[in-house]
Amino acid sequence: MGNFSSLRANVGKFDLASKTVLIPEMSRAGCLLLAATLRSFGVSAQVMETYGGLHLGKQFTSGKECFPCQVTLGDLLAHLEKEKDKLGEGFRPENYFYFMAESGGPCRFGMYNKLHRIILDSMDGLSRTRIASISSKDSYALGGLMAPEVRRDFRRTAYLAVVVGDCLDRILWRTRPYEKETGLAEAHFEESLKVMTEAVEAHGRRKRFRLILERLERVAAKAKEITDPTIPPKPLIGMIGEIYLRTHRPSNQEIIRLLEEHGAEVVNASLAEWINYVSYSSLRQDRRNIILALRRRDPGAFWRHLKAWLLHRTELAYQYLRQDQVYRRVKRRLAIHTDHRIGHIERQLDGDRLFSFAVGTEACLSIGGALEYSLAGFDGIVNVFPFTCMPSTMSSAILKPLLDRLQIPYLDSAYDGTFQPNREAAVRAFMYQASQHQRERRARGASRH
C-alpha cells in the first residue's frame, strides 16, 4: 500500500453486471428506488441496513472525518460481517461492489471512497471487495459501469426514480402534520415505497414511465384521504444543508419529525436538486471554456466545448422536463411543494455578491435555496449538517445575519452521532419564532385585501 496502487486498481468504474452492488442508505426512498432501477437493468443491487454498524465506522476512523463517512463505512462493514456469518465458507468478498460516489471541489466527500478503500485493504479478505464510483467531475458519467447501449436509458430511468423518491418524501411531509390518526402517514409512506419500488423494477428497463407515474398518482390520491382538512396550516419550515445529513433520518435524529411534533410543516431540499446542480455546473464550465477558446482563437477547442455545452444543455432540459412531469402528476391529487430551479438559486446569490457559484459545494444550494424559501413565504430555515462541515459552516456564516435582517427564524443543527441535551429546547424556541412569523405573515396578507 506504500504507493496507494489499490486506490487506482480497486476504486473506479467496473462492470456492475458481474457482482452484487451494495448501496449505502441516504434518502431511504431515493436509494431503494435507485436499487430497483439497477435491478430492472439486470444488476443485482441492494440497499444495506443502516446505522446499526456505526460503532464499526467509529472504530476504524479517527473522529476527524465527516460524520457520513463513519456512518456509511459502518454500514458496509456490518453488512459484510453479516454476509460472512450467513454464508460461512461460501462468502466471497470479491462478489460485491460497494457503491460510493464522489464529488470534486473543497469537500471531504471526495475522499470517502479513498479512506474506505484503505480500511478495507487493512482487513482480512476484504481487500477483494472493490468500490464502484462515479464522480460529479464528469456529471456522473456511466462509462465503464454499464454497456454503452443501455447507459442513456439507465440514466434517464434512474433520474425518474430519484424524482419519484423526492415526491414520496414530500407526500409524507405534506400529510404527516395533518394526518387524521397518528401513524397513518408513515404507514402509507412504507406501503407506497413498496409499490413504487415494484413499479420501477418492473417498468424501468422498458421506460414505461406512464405506468410508473399512474401508480404514483394513485399514491398521492390515497395520501390526501388520510389528511384532516380541518387542521389549520402550520408554520412552513424549509430545510437545507449537507445532502446526506439532511436526508438520512437516523443520522439527523429524525429532525423533521421533531420539528413536526412542535408544530411545523417541513420541506427538505431534494436529491434531484443536487443532480440538476451538477448538470448546471457542467453547463457553466462549458460556457467558460467556449469563451476561453474564442479568446485563444482555438477552433478545435471551441467546437469540442460547444458540443459538450449542447450535450449538457439537452441533459438539463430533459431533467427539468421529466421532473415537472412527475410533480404535475402528484399535484393533481395533493398540493406538495415543487422543487427549486438551479438558475433561480444562482440568481438569489445576486451576481456573486453573497456567494459565488464558482466556489462549488452545497453552500451554493443552501444559501440560494434558503432565499428561495423566504421568497415563497416560508416561516423558518433549518440548516442540517455534519459537525465541522466546511460548506455548511460557510452557509451558516452568510445566512445568519442575512436572514436576521429579513426577520426569518434560522436554526443550525449539526450532528456527529452524539445527543445534545439542549437540542429540543433549541427546536422549541425556533418553532415559537416560526409561529410568530406565520401569524405576522398572514396578518400582512390579510391587510392587503
385 belongs to a structural domain: yes
Q: Which grid cell sits at 75?
A: 454500514
Identify the domain boundary among 146, 161, 193: 146
Q: Cell numbers of 258, please? A: 421533531
The residue out of 146, 161, 179 marking a domain boundary is 146
Whether residues 131 and 274 fall in one domain = no
199 within some domain: no
Q: Does residue 139 share a domain with residue 234?
A: no
Residue 217 lies in a domain: no
CA angle 172, 40, 68 (to 5 degrees): 50
Tell me the residue type at 268.
Answer: N
**Predicted confidence (pLDDT) per residue in 5-41, tens digit:** 888 889 989 989 889 999 999 999 999 999 999 999 9
Domain termination residue (choose one: 95, 130, 146): 146
286 and 413, same domain (yes or no): yes
Co-location of 107 and 247 in the same domain: no
pLDDT value for 365: 94
The per-residue pLDDT for range 355-380, each reduced to its tens digit, is: 888 887 889 999 999 999 999 999 99
* Residue 222 belongs to a domain: no
> How many degrees, rounded to 5, is the angle at CA 258 between CA 254 and CA 260?
120
Looking at residue 384, the DSSP 8-state letter turns out to be E
d(C-alpha 331, C-alpha 328), whole Å: 5
Rounded to 10 deg, the angle between the 209-225 and 184-203 helix axes is: 170
| CATH number for position 72 | 3.40.50
pLDDT higher than threshold 90 for residue 90: yes
**Whether residue 127 sits in one domain with residue 248:** no
Q: Above 70 in pLDDT, residue 2?
A: no
> Could you give the dihedral angle defined by the CA atoms of residues 416, 420, 424 and 428, in that order, rounded to the nearest 10 degrees?
-90
pLDDT at position 447: 56
Q: Name the average pLDDT for the chain.
A: 93
Q: How does residue 3 score in pLDDT terms, banded at 50, 70 and 90?
A: low
- Tell whether 252 and 349 lie within a shared domain: yes
286 belongs to a structural domain: yes
256-295 pLDDT, tens digit per residue, is 999 999 999 999 999 999 999 999 999 999 999 999 999 9
DSSP H or E stretch at residue 414: strand 410-415
What beta strand segments (E) does 232-374 contain? 236-241, 265-268
- Are 292 and 419 contained in the same domain? yes
Query: What string of DSSP letters covers 65-81?
Result: S-HHHHHHHHHHHHHHH
Q: Which phi and psi angles does 320 have, rounded to 5°?
A: -65, -40
Please give the pLDDT value at position 137: 79
Whole-angstrom distance, CA of residue 272 vs CA of residue 319: 9
E strands, 56-209, in order: 96-99, 130-132
What CA–CA distance (Å, rounded) separates 13 from 113? 12
pLDDT value for 140: 84
Q: How far apart are the first and last CA of the chain?
A: 71
Q: Are 286 and 397 in a shared domain?
A: yes
Instruction: Please give the pLDDT value at position 361.
Output: 83
Question: Which DSSP letter does residue 43 get?
Answer: -
Task: Give domain status of residue 193, yes or no.
Answer: no
Tally of CB atoms within 10 A around 55: 12
Range of the domain at 381: 229-447
Task: Average the pLDDT over 204-227 and give the result.
Answer: 97
pLDDT at 322: 97
Do residue 283 and residue 415 come from a single domain?
A: yes
Would 176 be classed as within a structural domain? no
Give the pLDDT confidence of 435-444 residue by residue, as tens digits. 999 999 999 8
3-class DSSP assignment, residue 418: coil
The Cβ of residue 299 has, within 10 Å, a number of other Cβ atoms equal to 10
State residue 369's pLDDT score: 95
- Sequence-ordered list of residues with C-beta below 8 angstroms from that of 101, at least 6 positions apart, any chain: 133, 134, 135, 136, 140
Q: What is the pLDDT of residues 108-139, one digit of tens each?
A: 787 888 999 999 999 988 999 999 998 887 87
**Which pLDDT band, with edges at 50, 70 and 90, does 352 fall under?**
low
Note whether 255 and 130 are same-domain residues: no
Q: Hey, CA dihedral for 73, 78, 83, 89, is it positive or negative? A: positive
Binning pLDDT at 50, 70 and 90, where does residue 393 land? very high
- Give the model's confidence band at 105: pLDDT under 50 very low, under 70 low, under 90 confident, else very high: low
Quick check: 1 pLDDT over 80? no
Strand partners, 414: 385
More confident: 106 or 306: 306
What is the number of other CB atoms lying within 10 angstroms of the CB of residue 219?
A: 25
Average pLDDT over residues 241-253: 96
346 in a domain, yes or no?
yes
Number of helical (H) and strand (E) elements in the chain, helices listed first: 16, 9
Amino acid letter at 355? Answer: F
271's grid cell: 436529491
What is the tally of structural domains in the chain?
Answer: 2
* Angle of CA points 98, 392, 73, to nearest 5°: 20
Alpha-carbon gap, residue 49 to 292, rounded angstroms? 48
